């Protein structure tokens, strides 16, 4: 299928924000501000729906919108995950430890994908959160191996690298990104 020529420019279609329905707006607002570090930028009603706007970027009015109206007792979450990048393993550990102190956070898992080191957990309404650190390597996905987040930075990164290098398409992240830029049409051959 041919790409839409209007979207060939990188800036033509840039992801900005997402919204999802919640059951307990106050609790979820508290979770996303206190655990995930968002700032509430606005709130109000749009008809019968109450909205809370949240951002971690001063250039974005909102990156997440929480909206009332999620039906009670759903047995399945439509959101697979919300993912957040961090700059280092110390920050990843800090988020891990802080999240575990919050009532309603559950299902904490620590893993490496070779190309990232991640923690996964559920927010108070069961939506999966991923917080991750990119590694300098690429390896094909999906791949998920458990790690011990309490090991040293060196031990965690050595395990992630060993797992990544065991995959047939292992390469540096920079090489993979250059190839993706060519495939996406940002760089002409």
**Model confidence at 79, in pLDDT bands (50, 70, 90)?**
confident
Query: How far, in Å, CA of 129 to CA of 80, rounded?
Result: 9
pLDDT, position 46? 94
| Residue 186 pLDDT greater than 90, yes or no | no
Angle CA 113–54–43, to nearest 5: 155
Query: How far, in Å, CA of 79 to CA of 77, rounded?
Result: 5
Question: Which domains are assigned to the chain?
Answer: 15-72 (3.10.180.10), 80-189 (3.10.180)
**Coil, helix or strand at residue 121:** strand
Partners of 119 in beta bridges: 110, 131
47: phi then psi, degrees, rounded to nearest 5: 65, -130
| Residue 8 pLDDT greater than 70, yes or no | no
Mapping DSSP onto H, E and C, the string for 25-83 reads HHHHHHHHHHCCCCEEEEEEEECCEEEEEEECCCCCCCCEEEEECCCCCCCCCCCCCEE
How do strand 64-68 and strand 49-55 relate by DSSP bridges? antiparallel
Query: What is the pTM for the complete model shown?
Result: 0.86
| Residue 12 pLDDT greater than 70, yes or no | no
Partners of 42 in beta bridges: 53
């Amino acid at each position: 299928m041919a790409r839409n020529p209007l979207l060939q420019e990188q800036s033509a279609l840039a992801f900005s924000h997402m919204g999802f329905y919640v059951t307990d707006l106050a609790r979820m607002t508290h979770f996303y501000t206190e655990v995930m570090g968002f700032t509430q930028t606005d709130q109000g009603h749009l008809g019968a729906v109450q909205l809370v706007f949240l951002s971690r970027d001063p250039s974005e009015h909102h990156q997440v919108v929480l909206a009332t109206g999620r039906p009670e007792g759903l047995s399945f979450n439509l959101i697979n995950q919300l993912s957040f990048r961090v700059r280092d393993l110390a920050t990843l550990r800090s988020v891990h430890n802080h999240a575990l102190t919050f009532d309603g956070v559950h299902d904490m898992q620590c893993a490496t994908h070779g190309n990232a080191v991640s923690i996964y957990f559920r927010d108070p309404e069961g939506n999966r959160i991923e917080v991750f650190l990119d590694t300098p390597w690429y390896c094909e996905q999906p791949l998920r191996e458990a790690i011990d987040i309490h090991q040293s930075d060196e031990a965690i990164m050595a395990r992630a690298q060993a797992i990544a290098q065991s995959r047939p398409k292992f390469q540096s992240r920079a090489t993979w990104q250059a190839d993706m830029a060519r495939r996406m049409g940002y760089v002409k051959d």
